[in-house]
Amino acid sequence: MEWKDWCRLCANTDDNSSPVFQNEDQLLPEKIFKYLSITIRNQDELPQTVCDACTRRVTAFDRYAHQCLRVQTMFKALLQEKDDDSYNKAVLLREEYLGPVIQKRDDQVHYFVFFCYTGRCYLFQHHTLC
């Protein structure tokens, strides 16, 4: 295998790589630039493929970054609340921004998080350690 066929991000030689510009996620090059400051262009003489593991990592981090932004927006909204029932309003705002708590154990809180980004909608389960 030639080095130009290696993963552009981790240099993995795995056969489970796909061309970055023919990937299912059409925004993958933009996400790579946004989070890693790596510019990938069609005319590059550098590798043009990204392995499945790196694609999943970049996509997962993009979802995480969007969730963090929603949380910051939620906290700013909570800061605006000035009444005596602020805890209950906080719970309602958390559900509005992050989805309802569907199950609580001693060690984890489970959320279903639903969001839409560039015309695609995602629903995934999020686990948070208490």
The CATH number given to whatever domain includes residue 41 is: 3.40.1800.20
Where would I find the beta strands (DSSP E) of 45-100? 49-51
Tens digit of each residue's pLDDT (9 = 90 or more) over 13-59: 877 888 888 877 789 999 999 999 999 998 889 999 999 999 999 99
pLDDT tier at 126, thresholds 50, 70, 90: low
The pLDDT value recorded for residue 127 is: 52
User: Which range of residues forms the domain containing residue 107?
Assistant: 3-129
Which residues are CB-neighbours of 39 under 8 A, at least 6 positions away? 33
Q: Which residues are annotated as a binding site?
A: 7, 10, 51, 54
Q: Are 89 and 78 in contact (CB under 8 A)?
A: yes
For the annotated binding site for Zn(2+), the residues are: 7, 10, 51, 54
The arithmetic mean of pLDDT across residues 67-94, rounded, is 77
The domain total for the chain is 1
pLDDT averaged over every residue in the chain: 77
